[in-house]
Chains A and B, each alone.
Chain A
């Protein structure tokens, strides 16, 4: 009843201008066939708008429970049938659901990745005919959206359309870079989001927000509904597509992704001051930020390339990144300004632990399917539960995609004999010949490394952390080479702990000549990542998004060491890829640990035996 009233009310008020215009028209007698005297620009604009709506129309998704009961909206973003929606939309459906498109057809669908804090989920629709492409929309650039821009919201509010034909609403962007605090238990935090007056209502959740070119600029998810019950009150929020782009790798990879904290409390230096200064109020010893040199009282100037002037701005910047991303931070202490690269810490763990049971956290143990037809066998086959992942099935797919691309640079699976690398090493105070020998097999697994002095490591037998981290000051370069060889020769088989696709992440290769860069932020290269665990050692592997070149990797010999300084990884950066026997291999290898460069190795000779 209430809904009807409100809609009627809107109707009446909207009619007024129309009536007014018609009233003007009456002055000039109009023949019935004569078109209304409307400005050409108005007609053009309208036609353009209709064309845009028609273009994106087929890609709008009505997300449904098994059986077709509507729970929200979504939008297809690639021809394979991947669609974005809200996490809170797929929460009640569990991992298997159905999805209706504007063509009136209901498809089976399955959850891939989720982002609980950001309220985003990626689902995949199964085509009715194998291999048939889905319609999809193009991702836009939400950093270019400005308050006052026109926008289109589409979806299935109030589950009005029984045949899934999307509803479209039209309005302006009321604000950008908005912060909306978490709704309940630290989840569903909307950071850096787009505020719209474009009407969104319950059921619009998960649906797309478009610019007038039909590019996806956000996912509609929330409104300030407090006042007028659960209906639009002129203020809605869309998650910016640029935030979602940061998580897209995680989402495709079926990861239960997490947002991050800096490990430090940032606040206003003096709330009453005429202008704000953001300072570090507190910092955790175990945070990466602390090890990189951030201290209490430091003033935060820039974070991830954006200026920080208020608490909301700080939260907006922090909130759009997945945990464990490395981001540049510019601080001022006294009169000096400095830049550092900081690894973000996850924070969902703490939030989740406090409350139990975790409400509707996919993947829960497969929920009892309420009603209606059971999912087709195919959809059910595309779901695989695993801790830390919302759907492991999709992680395996993304691993394969990435490694297939990577293998084009060379197949190392046959090279299981001894590896010998010879060349020169260079450190700050010395340089000389370098030799690394990697052996693995029934006769023993061993790394021998001669830089200044000779060190050896039996990675499978050595349990002493100090020796595992040799050579001293490298953070575990011998261990790193052991894992590198395993990764190239054995792949998934070589890592019994974990071998997973890790989503997108930035990587910052330092200049190969060993010089200190002017701007750390400028070093950034966007990468696909893999995460491996073997024994107690964890590695993160960074592949250029463009061509899957392995740009480097980080080896955490003891990620949870009691001595906090031991928690830093040995960082290896590969440069100078050249062809060796039909395989591309790096000929300059930069090694860093903590805040310092350990050594630069120049390889002149690779000998990789079968």
Chain B
């Protein structure tokens, strides 16, 4: 076990023993005797855990079916009840609830999320009050900005993890405590397609099994109990089939390449000689500290996806079934003859299930993807369910024909 301050005296004592007489050494040794209360009895882990537990919450939201958990953990970052957590599906509900360390149950609301950091900022309110109102009683919190100014923890450092892993704790029951060592400080390479993971910055990899159901949004602390990271999702490395145990550092940042319309000094869109808009690539850096600071002021603007192109996307020629539900499955009603869809051999009754490896949960989601991620010339890979088999087809999108209804409008219902 590596211990903190008391041990700092020992090297001096040892030097004394080496350089002076044995007699002096014995005196030094005697002086040492009361000190070794440093042992496990005085171990600070218990205190660290108890203090941190007051600054963390149990979070309950959407899910609870088909292996999607409806629980997670959150970190209080302001006395007024701002909370950060991982941007997971549990936030996708108006009925978000937190349990404070003392068992108090409060309603919560998502203020803003940043996909590139995989993080969300929440706010709680006192019963009978509005979210804008101050809380009846201020909460204990982690000073996130101060934490972000500290140098990152190093590989080999001891860490303590607190989270509501496996939803073991409810109401006033304390969160679960684990300890471990930072095994690596690194980017999780090859994440897209290997990890379903949007964050591109450095992460702490820990040797403890921290990332279990419900642990996302938990705190990674150093031995002093200072916040150093936010425990991430459950991610499986599909190459090695191992679960990753990682946390996003409070110093975390992501560099995002954005394709944006080129504008002149007056803010007018620049067009080339053919009259088409011109895009430029711009690298934007977004940090956790910015997110938390601006987010709490209500000024944070999430970065749009780096592959966002804008516009209406490429033309595919698929006509879907009437889009009457929020989540109408992407069944193909028909394809426009001669369109990319026709050329790729798509047929009526095919169900579009994946686009470029991402699940297509609805017609809207399909249109959204086409609009944000494609343009004429983009090659997309679709997996479609045809009867009982999954077929893979590739479409080279084209420019929208002048006559076609402006995508992404849904196809009109057939007679």
> SS class of chain B's interface: helix, strand, loop or mixed?
mixed
Give residues 27-60 of B contacting A (CB, 8 Å): 32, 35-36, 38-41, 43, 45-50
Q: Are B38 and A16 in contact (CB under 8 A)?
A: no
Least Cβ–Cβ distance between A307 and chain B, in angstroms: 10
Q: Are B32 and A40 in contact (CB under 8 A)?
A: yes
Give the distance in Å from the alpha carbon of A596 to the alpha carbon of B272 in the complex: 99
The verdict on B212 contacting chain A, using a C-beta distance below 8 Å, is yes
Q: Are A274 and B7 in contact (CB under 8 A)?
A: no
Give the distance in Å from the alpha carbon of A48 to the alpha carbon of B40 in the complex: 10
> SS class of chain A's interface: helix, strand, loop or mixed?
mixed
Q: Are B156 and A17 in contact (CB under 8 A)?
A: yes
Which bracket fits the contact residues of B? 35 or more
Least Cβ–Cβ distance between A50 and chain B, in angstroms: 12
Q: A234-B210, A309-B103 are known contacts. Are A148 and B171 too (CB-CB below 8 A)?
A: no
Give the distance in Å from the alpha carbon of A484 to the alpha carbon of B178 in the complex: 56
The verdict on A516 contacting chain B, using a C-beta distance below 8 Å, is no
The verdict on B349 contacting chain A, using a C-beta distance below 8 Å, is no
Give the distance in Å from the alpha carbon of A233 to the alpha carbon of B210 in the complex: 9
- Interface size for A (C-beta < 8 A) is 50
Across the interface, B14 reaches (CB within 8 A) one of A13, A40, A276, namely A40
The verdict on B118 contacting chain A, using a C-beta distance below 8 Å, is no
Residues on A with beta carbons closer than 8 Å to the beta carbon of B179: 171-172, 197
The verdict on A178 contacting chain B, using a C-beta distance below 8 Å, is yes
Across the interface, A148 reaches (CB within 8 A) one of B1, B38, B43, B208, namely B43
The verdict on A469 contacting chain B, using a C-beta distance below 8 Å, is no
Q: Are B49 and A148 in contact (CB under 8 A)?
A: yes
Q: A16-B181, A175-B168, A310-B103 are known contacts. Are A274 and B127 too (CB-CB below 8 A)?
A: yes
Least Cβ–Cβ distance between B58 and chain A, in angstroms: 12
> Contact flags (1/0) for A499-513 with B, using CB distance below 8 Å?
000000000000000
Q: A235-B165, A310-B103 are known contacts. Are A10 and B207 too (CB-CB below 8 A)?
A: yes
Give the distance in Å from the alpha carbon of A39 to the alpha carbon of B8 in the complex: 8
Q: A16-B181, A39-B2, A227-B212 are known contacts. Are A235 and B176 too (CB-CB below 8 A)?
A: yes
Name the residue on B nearest A268 (C-beta). B171
Give residues 184-203 of A contacting B (CB, 8 Å): 195, 197
> Contact flags (1/0) for B286-302 with A, using CB distance below 8 Å?
00000000000000000
Residues on B with beta carbons closer than 8 Å to the beta carbon of A178: 168, 173
Q: Are A147 and B49 in contact (CB under 8 A)?
A: yes
Name the residue on B nearest A270 (C-beta). B105
Q: Are B105 and A274 in contact (CB under 8 A)?
A: yes
Q: Are A41 and B181 in contact (CB under 8 A)?
A: no
Across the interface, A16 reaches (CB within 8 A) one of B106, B183, B212, namely B183
Give the distance in Å from the alpha carbon of A46 to the alpha carbon of B40 in the complex: 10
> Contact flags (1/0) for B41-83 with A, using CB distance below 8 Å?
1010111111000000000000000000000000000000000
Give the distance in Å from the alpha carbon of A273 to the alpha carbon of B2 in the complex: 44
Residues on A with beta carbons closer than 8 Å to the beta carbon of B160: 148
The verdict on A555 contacting chain B, using a C-beta distance below 8 Å, is no
Residues on A with beta carbons closer than 8 Å to the beta carbon of B181: 14, 16-17
Residues on A with beta carbons closer than 8 Å to the beta carbon of B32: 40
Q: Are B172 and A309 in contact (CB under 8 A)?
A: yes
Q: Are B172 and A44 in contact (CB under 8 A)?
A: no
Give the distance in Å from the alpha carbon of A177 to the alpha carbon of B168 in the complex: 11
Residues on B with beta carbons closer than 8 Å to the beta carbon of A5: 242
> Contact flags (1/0) for B4-18 with A, using CB distance below 8 Å?
001100110010000
Give the distance in Å from the alpha carbon of A126 to the alpha carbon of B177 in the complex: 40
Q: A39-B2, A41-B3, A197-B179 are known contacts. Are A149 and B46 too (CB-CB below 8 A)?
A: yes
Q: Are A40 and B7 in contact (CB under 8 A)?
A: yes
The verdict on A275 contacting chain B, using a C-beta distance below 8 Å, is yes
Q: A41-B36, A150-B40 are known contacts. Are A275 and B103 too (CB-CB below 8 A)?
A: yes
Residues on A with beta carbons closer than 8 Å to the beta carbon of B41: 212
Residues on B with beta carbons closer than 8 Å to the beta carbon of A28: none
The residue in B38, B40, B43 that gathers the most chain A C-beta atoms within 10 A of its C-beta is B40
The verdict on B209 contacting chain A, using a C-beta distance below 8 Å, is yes
The verdict on A391 contacting chain B, using a C-beta distance below 8 Å, is no
The verdict on B254 contacting chain A, using a C-beta distance below 8 Å, is no
Q: Are A149 and B183 in contact (CB under 8 A)?
A: no
The verdict on B393 contacting chain A, using a C-beta distance below 8 Å, is no
Across the interface, B3 reaches (CB within 8 A) one of A9, A39, A172, A195, namely A39
Give the distance in Å from the alpha carbon of A385 to the alpha carbon of B26 in the complex: 66
Q: A147-B46, A175-B177 are known contacts. Are A234 and B170 too (CB-CB below 8 A)?
A: no
Give residues 130-173 of B contacting A (CB, 8 Å): 154-156, 160, 165-166, 168-173
Give residues 137-186 of A contacting B (CB, 8 Å): 146-150, 171-175, 177-178
The verdict on B184 contacting chain A, using a C-beta distance below 8 Å, is yes
Least Cβ–Cβ distance between B402 and chain A, in angstroms: 54
Across the interface, B155 reaches (CB within 8 A) one of A16, A39, A40, A171, namely A16
Q: Are B3 and A235 in contact (CB under 8 A)?
A: no
Q: Are B39 and A44 in contact (CB under 8 A)?
A: yes
Name the residue on B nearest A177 (C-beta). B173
Give the distance in Å from the alpha carbon of A172 to the alpha carbon of B162 in the complex: 12
> Contact flags (1/0) for B202-243 with A, using CB distance below 8 Å?
000101111011000000000000000000001000000011
**25 sample A-B contacts, Cβ–Cβ < 8 Å, listed by A number:** A10-B207, A13-B183, A13-B205, A14-B181, A14-B207, A20-B154, A37-B11, A39-B10, A45-B3, A45-B38, A146-B46, A147-B176, A147-B177, A150-B45, A172-B177, A175-B174, A175-B175, A232-B209, A234-B210, A274-B104, A274-B105, A274-B106, A275-B104, A276-B171, A310-B173
Q: Which 3 pairs, one residue from A and one from B, show the smallest C-beta to C-beta distance?
A: A234-B209, A20-B156, A148-B46
Given contacts A147-B50, A197-B177, A212-B41, 16 further A-B contacts (CB under 8 A): A10-B207, A16-B181, A41-B39, A44-B36, A45-B1, A48-B40, A148-B48, A175-B173, A197-B178, A224-B168, A234-B209, A275-B103, A275-B104, A276-B171, A309-B172, A313-B173
